């Protein structure tokens, strides 16, 4: 057997914890699988597996080799798929993550369009307001808001979102319009915890970002709920501007303190770099890039 075949046998035995089950999985005999592992251990000069009459387990050294072997075999599969699927429709399972409200507003509708276009695919969508580790959680593609730390991920910028402070015209007529961020302390504040866990609202004052602690009378989990509360005439809130677009356009809400707004947050699509992207990942990323860049509110 060549090196890749030996590696494939080792991965199968390690995952099945059995020579017999691994042999059946690879459509070979159990003695052949045993000889392959012996050949590999002899070639490497290390013990990869601990064998007894009851079980087969990887050694500490074997576990390190297993991690490398899996990545190598996955890269080979991805390389094959990327060539074979050049002219074929994408198929298989995709795992995608995005922030909750942004995901509901923009990502979920795009996923439906993608699934309708490519019936051979299926998707798991994880909409959560936390940073998901793509490698550890087995996620293929992520949509992220905000600047990215250095990482091994490939990132494509697709747009930006702005944070806005809004209130109903009726509320402002009764309580006055804040002229500065500090004036907010004299108003009823509705805080959306999904925007920030702590009620610290950020503004740009004299060209410098400044965090101002709010003391809300009402805290809600979602920005859409905060919008509904404020549109009814109760207080002032701060949300991603795309959440209140229709209410602002319809005159139910007014945007205030715009001159103190912080720079918009970039929106990125991330996927794992260093591996040849499969057809399903490549087509999904391309589809999401085109879809999100076409959204006027993200430009």
pLDDT means over runs of 10, the chain (299 residues) = 87 89 90 90 90 85 90 78 63 91 94 94 91 85 87 86 95 96 97 84 91 95 92 95 90 96 93 67 92 85
Residue 274: the pLDDT is 44
Amino acid 184: pLDDT:
97
Contacts of 80 (CB under 8 A, 6+ apart): none
Which positions ≥6 away from 100 have C-beta within 8 Å?
127, 128, 129, 194, 222
C-alpha 289/C-alpha 278 separation (Å) is 16
Count of all residues that appear for the chain in the document: 299
- The pLDDT assigned to 150 comes to 64
Q: Boundaries of CATH 3.40.190.10 in the chain?
A: 92-161+265-298, 167-258
The fold adopted by the segment(s) 167-258 is D-Maltodextrin-Binding Protein; domain 2 (3.40.190)
CATH topology of domain 92-161+265-298: D-Maltodextrin-Binding Protein; domain 2 (3.40.190)
Q: Token digits for 18?
A: 């059995």
- Cα 131 to Cα 152: distance, rounded to the nearest angstrom: 15
Residue ranges of the chain assigned to CATH 1.10.10.10:
3-85
CA distance 85 to 77: 12
Our CA angle for 100, 219, 147, nearest 5°, is: 40
Structure tokens at 126: 């994880």
Instruction: Tell me the C-alpha distance between 243 and 220, whole Å.
Output: 15
Alpha helix (H) residue ranges in the chain: 3-16, 19-26, 30-44, 60-84, 100-102, 108-117, 169-175, 223-231, 245-249, 279-293
Q: How far apart are CA 64 and CA 29, in angstroms?
A: 26
CATH code for the structural domain at 3-85: 1.10.10.10
């Amino acid at each position: 057997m060549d090196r890749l075949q030996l590696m494939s046998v080792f991965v199968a035995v390690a995952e099945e914890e059995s020579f017999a089950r691994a042999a059946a999985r690879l459509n070979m005999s159990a003695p052949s699988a045993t000889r392959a592992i012996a050949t590999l251990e002899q070639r490497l000069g290390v013990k990869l597996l601990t064998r007894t009459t009851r079980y087969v387990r990887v050694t500490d050294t074997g576990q390190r080799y297993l991690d490398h072997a899996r990545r190598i075999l996955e890269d080979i599969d991805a390389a094959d798929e990327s060539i074979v699927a050049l002219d074929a429709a994408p198929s298989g399972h995709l795992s995608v993550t995005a922030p909750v409200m942004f995901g509901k507003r923009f990502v979920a509708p795009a996923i439906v369009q993608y699934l309708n276009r490519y019936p051979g695919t299926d998707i798991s969508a994880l909409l959560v307001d936390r940073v998901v580790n793509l490698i550890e959680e087995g996620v293929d593609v992520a949509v992220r808001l905000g600047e990215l730390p250095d990482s091994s991920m490939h990132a494509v910028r697709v747009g930006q979102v702005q944070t806005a402070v809004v209130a109903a015209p009726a509320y402002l007529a009764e309580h006055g319009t804040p002229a500065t961020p500090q004036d907010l302390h004299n108003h009823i504040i509705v805080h959306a915890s999904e925007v920030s866990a702590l009620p610290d609202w950020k503004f740009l004052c004299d060209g410098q970002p400044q965090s101002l602690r709010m003391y809300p009378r009402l805290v809600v989990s979602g920005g859409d709920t905060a919008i509904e509360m404020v549109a009814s005439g109760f207080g002032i809130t701060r949300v991603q501007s795309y959440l209140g677009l229709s209410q602002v356009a319809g005159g139910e809400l007014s945007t205030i303190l715009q001159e103190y707004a912080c720079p918009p947050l970039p929106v990125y699509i991330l996927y794992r770099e260093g591996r040849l992207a499969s057809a399903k990942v490549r087509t999904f990323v391309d589809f999401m890039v085109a879809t999100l860049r076409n959204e006027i509110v993200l430009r």
